[in-house]
Structure 1
Amino acid sequence: MSRVTTLRRMHRISPDGDIRRADSLAVEEPLEIRIGGQSLTITMRTPGDDIDLIHGFLLSESIITNAQDLISARYCAGTDENGQNTYNVLDLTLRTPMRLRARSFITTSACGLCGKTALDEVRTRTRFPIPADGPTVHTDMLSTLPGKLRTKQKAFAATGGLHAAGLFTTDGTVLAVREDIGRHNAVDKVIGWALRRELIPAHDLVLIVSGRSSFELVQKAAMAGIPVLGAVSAPSSLAVDLAADAGITLIGFLRGDTMNVYTRIHRVSR
């Protein structure tokens, strides 16, 4: 079994009787990102597509603009109790050196950052402003995207415990789908995939996420120049504020043939 999923023993209790068996769970492990040997950050993620993950993360944090800004990414030595490499530390070399002590990341909802400060932070840092007009997406096409996303969620089908993010063309073609224990990591993975294929700024793509849309997810879409973000569940208030400010069409409760369009409805046709 891959490191995306793992087995744990469990005792299932039900009206039909008890069952003891192995259950498939999503793997959650830390990934430490270093630059030139110095620790930048640690994120809890599901192993896999780590190179896409770091590209998307670095773009979201305005550390790189294109794939060429990241010269190399090397897994550092580190072993588990069985002597196998854990692949949980990546050391990066950037084209332009940076002073880590001067870095501060955009704070998320866990940190109590006020709304206006957060909006101003994204507005001043994005290098790919979204054009006011942008692409038009049809409601019939949008209604198919959650299903297309779900069919690509192989690890979710096995565990029920992973988020997903997918990039689509405006005609509904699937470009990339990534899964992760963290919804922000799943988004970083698909954005990193696009960056490595020179598809950023993604002014003609649609981003779909499997859960809710938080401020952080809208921020990542804004930093990548993605004009349309759809979610199966609800947005937060600050996510709507940021989407309006950044020029993103934000769609929530995208289920079947119904959806809530919170911002920039001019891109949605019927």
Structure 2
Amino acid sequence: MSNPAISYAHITRVTDTLVTATEDALAAEEPLEIRLVHGHEHQCITVTMRSPGQDEELAAGFLFTEGIITQYDAIQSISYQNNVATVTLLPGITPSLQPAQRNFLANAGCGVCGKTELAAIYTPVARNESGIKIPANVLHDLPGQLRAQQAVFDNTGGLHAAALFNTDGTLLFLREDIGRHNAVDKLIGAALREKLPFGHYGLLLSGRAGFELIQKAAVAGIPVIAAVGAPSSMAVKMAMEWGITLIGFLREGRFNIYHGKERIVL
């Protein structure tokens, strides 16, 4: 069965003096418009460039992490057609649209692009008080597990991954996307649908940890974030403010704890 997240192109491959006509697998990238229906209102919320697939999860996760809805049960239905995901809310549900107002298209690498004013970057977040404890040896094993399950990355080399893991080091959900913020939204949307208690799990990122990913995890109530790459200065600052354990450079048997070392059993 074909994978919508993978596209193919005819290429000319040059290796030293050998020239070969062949086919190459690419990470698919297409626009997705997220529309919201509530009461008599029908409106476009955003257009994002994403890897096709799990679009219903992406739409639900986006609305939740942007603070537009506060629970999955607010959704009556999600329909998808021709790169448009339409989310219909239950009667009586009023979305909070002010934090998510955008004035231009967001690209695949952008999680907070297009906010109409600086203050709109920040979504209201409660400080995380989870008492979760994660053994250090569990963290060491996570990047290998993530890499082993990145099916689309194996074919294209062009996608980011995000996964939820428990204190035993089991990956519960994994989602890939050309945009790292989309991968997190897809993941959170899937977990919301299954009603997982976010306070019991950690978030694993295949790349760097930027502010927008910390905020999405904080909105969901995820207490631990472990990234294979580096965190940004704003990511560390907000992890401190929101009470999130933030780990970076998780690879090759080592990692840095930037905040929240009390949750890691060393």
TM-score, structure 1 length as denominator?
Answer: 0.86
The verdict on how the C-alpha distance between 1:177 and 1:99 changes in structure 2, with shifts beyond 3 A counting, is closer
d(CA) in 1 for partners of 2:255, 2:74 = 38
Residue 205 of structure 2 is matched in structure 1 by 209
Out of 155, 161, 166, which is 2:163 matched to? 166
Out of 102, 108, 113, which is 2:112 matched to? 108
The verdict on how the C-alpha distance between 1:140 and 1:58 changes in structure 2, with shifts beyond 3 A counting, is same
1:68 aligns with 2:73: yes
Q: Is the 8 A contact 2:226 2:247 kept in 1?
A: yes
d(CA) in 2 for partners of 1:102, 1:167 = 26
The verdict on how the C-alpha distance between 1:204 and 1:99 changes in structure 2, with shifts beyond 3 A counting, is closer
Q: Deviations over 1:95-120 (max 9, x none)?
A: 21447578536983787976xx578x
The verdict on how the C-alpha distance between 1:107 and 1:74 changes in structure 2, with shifts beyond 3 A counting, is closer
Q: Is the 8 A contact 1:232 1:252 kept in 2?
A: yes
The verdict on how the C-alpha distance between 1:165 and 1:41 changes in structure 2, with shifts beyond 3 A counting, is same
- The structure 1 segments of at least 4 consecutive aligned residues displaced by more than 2 Å after TM superposition are 97-114
SS in 1 for 2:168: coil
| 12-21 or 232-241, larger mean C-alpha shift | 12-21
Q: Is the 8 A contact 2:165 2:203 kept in 1?
A: yes
SS in 2 for 1:185: helix
Out of 216, 227, 234, which is 1:220 matched to? 216
Residue 229 of structure 2 is matched in structure 1 by 233
d(CA) in 1 for partners of 2:32, 2:167 = 33
Q: Is the 8 A contact 2:68 2:99 kept in 1?
A: no
d(CA) in 1 for partners of 2:113, 2:58 = 21
1:7-18 map, 5 Å: 7-15=8-16, 17-18=18-19
1:130 aligns with 2:128: yes
- Please list every run of 5 or more consecutive structure 1 residues that lacks an aligned counterpart in the other structure: 77-86
SS in 2 for 1:198: coil
Q: For this pair of structures, how many residues does the alignment match?
A: 252
d(CA) in 1 for partners of 2:114, 2:31 = 19
Residue 41 of structure 1 is matched in structure 2 by 46
d(CA) in 2 for partners of 1:64, 1:111 = 18
Q: Is the 8 A contact 2:162 2:184 kept in 1?
A: yes
d(CA) in 2 for partners of 1:24, 1:64 = 37
Q: Is the 8 A contact 2:68 2:97 kept in 1?
A: no
Q: Deviations over 1:207-226 (max 9, x none)?
A: 00101000000000100000
Residue 248 of structure 1 is matched in structure 2 by 244
- Please list every run of 5 or more consecutive structure 2 residues that lacks an aligned counterpart in the other structure: 103-109
TM-score, structure 2 length as denominator?
Answer: 0.88
